[in-house]
Amino acid sequence: MRRGRVEEESYLDWNATAPLRLEAASAVADAMGRWGNPSSVHRRGRAARQTIERAHEAIAALLGNADPNGVVFVSGGTEANHLALLGTGRERVLVSAVEHDSVRSALPAAEIIPVGPDGIVILDALDQLLAVDLRPALVSVMYANNETGVLQPVADIAAIARRHGALFHCDAVQAAGKVALNAEAIGANLVSLSAHKIGGPPGTGALILTDDTELAPLLRGGGQERRRRAGTENLPGIAGFAAAAAAAEVSIYDRVRALRDGLEAEIAAIAPEAVVIGAAAPRLPNTSAIAMPGVAAETQVMALDLDGVMVSAGAACSSGKVGPSHVLAAMRVDPGIASSTIRVSLGWSTSEAEIDHFLRVWTALYRRGRGVAKGALAA
């Protein structure tokens, strides 16, 4: 990278983006070589069309046994979430309080489903919200949270939604590739995925329809993606996405979980006052939201970066902004704790050496911070 003097670099920001898998790189380059417009009727076009059709199958397979015809390729997770919320055209839309900004902003008038201190949707609250208003509704709850890794009881949410005749959309952008997904088990009518979070290229994602839910297109024009998403298909992106999906091995996350758990245990041993957000809830195996009380998250992130450790203070899209995390606020995390929370996220190639590197730098920072805090107390 640019600062060549840093000898050791540890990338622990996988929830922001993952490196491109070799299989995906190869598929991207291959598709660039086999360029063609999938809508053209000539041979090049037909070959491109075939690549797209195979990719529909690969993405459907990532959800266990979804119907390849239900896969709609889009430009990424954000567009997938918009297409789900806006395209279903339901009068009422309910989203959880911890949804990604791309869901929260799709419909500013959406109603909020509260979560408990553990970050998990309060099922009774959802049930009541649906019971008091009989208009056709869409419920949107993510599979796994991008900031905390907390997993939602999606099957229960699906059952409640179904009981009230509501559609269920599940943003599975962070969960895909990290935990085994199955469309039937999730029970959602619509599922969002992103390529670059699973080692595919950025600029590609998918909305998967698991049944014949009707969808009005967000982008209008040509009849691509069965009239559900206009625009020349991003063939290399789609091919890369499919290759990454095929290469994703959930079992590798057993090792990642052990690394993450080891990291959290070390932190607890070094700093008893450190807090792991959502620790009591089921979580993704790779994510840890860690508060170092008294030290601002931005300070931690910068200090870690100076020593070659890359983490973030929350969601990447908003990490340039200041302001408290809506996710932590919804969990009623103490504002002082929330503002000192960083997100550490691991991936399939994260090594023990990287974890050690993080712990070294984090500990040094912690000791400095504590020194300052003690000095301040004495004064």
Residues carrying an active site annotation: 317
Q: How far is the CB of 226 from another protein (least distance, A)?
A: 12
Report the Cα 56 to chain-centroid distance in Å: 21
Distance of alpha carbon 94 from its chain centroid, rounded? 19
Closer Cβ to another protein, 166 or 315, answer by number: 315
CB 304 within 8 A of CB 280: no
Residue number, 74 or 160, with CB nearest to another protein: 74
Which of 197, 283 has the CB closer to another protein?
A: 197
What's the min distance (Å) between Cβ of 196 and another protein? 7
Q: Smallest gap, in angstroms, from Cβ of residue 344 to another protein?
A: 12
Contact present, 359 and 263 (Cβ < 8 Å): yes
Based on CB atoms, which residue is closest to another protein, 86 or 252?
A: 86
| Residue 233: both structure tokens together | 């298909």
Minimum CB distance to another protein, residue 35 (Å):
4
CA distance 72 to 83: 10
Q: For another protein, give the closer residue by CB, 36 or 282.
A: 36
Do the strands 137-140 and 275-276 form a parallel or antiparallel pair, or are they unpaired?
unpaired
What tokens appear for 176 in the block?
A: 């895909």
Cβ–Cβ under 8 Å, residues 144 and 172: yes
Q: Which is nearer to another protein, 19 or 153 (CB)?
A: 19
Question: What DSSP string describes 248-261?
Answer: --TTHHHHHHHHHH
Residues 6+ apart with CB under 8 A from 31: 48, 51, 235, 236, 238, 239, 240
Q: 130 or 300, CB closer to another protein?
A: 300
Would you say 133 and 92 are in contact if contact means Cβ atoms under 8 Å apart? yes
Beta-carbon contacts of 313 under 8 Å, excluding residues fewer than 6 positions away, are 297, 298, 300, 301, 319, 341, 342, 343
Q: What DSSP element (H or E) covers 335?
A: helix 335-338
Q: CB 243 → another protein: shortest distance, Å?
A: 13
In angstroms, give the least distance from the CB of 191 to another protein: 17
> For residues 219 and 83, what is the distance between their CA atoms, to the nearest angstrom?
9
> Rounded to an integer, what distance in angstroms lies between the CA atom of residue 124 and that of residue 163?
13
Q: Which of 33, 59, 54 minimizes the C-alpha distance to 44?
A: 33
Quickly tell me which residue has 């730098």 as its tokens.
361
Of 196, 88, 181, 91, the residue nearest 135 (C-alpha): 91
Report the distance separating Cα 171 and Cα 194, nearest Å. 9
Min CB(317)–another protein separation in Å: 3
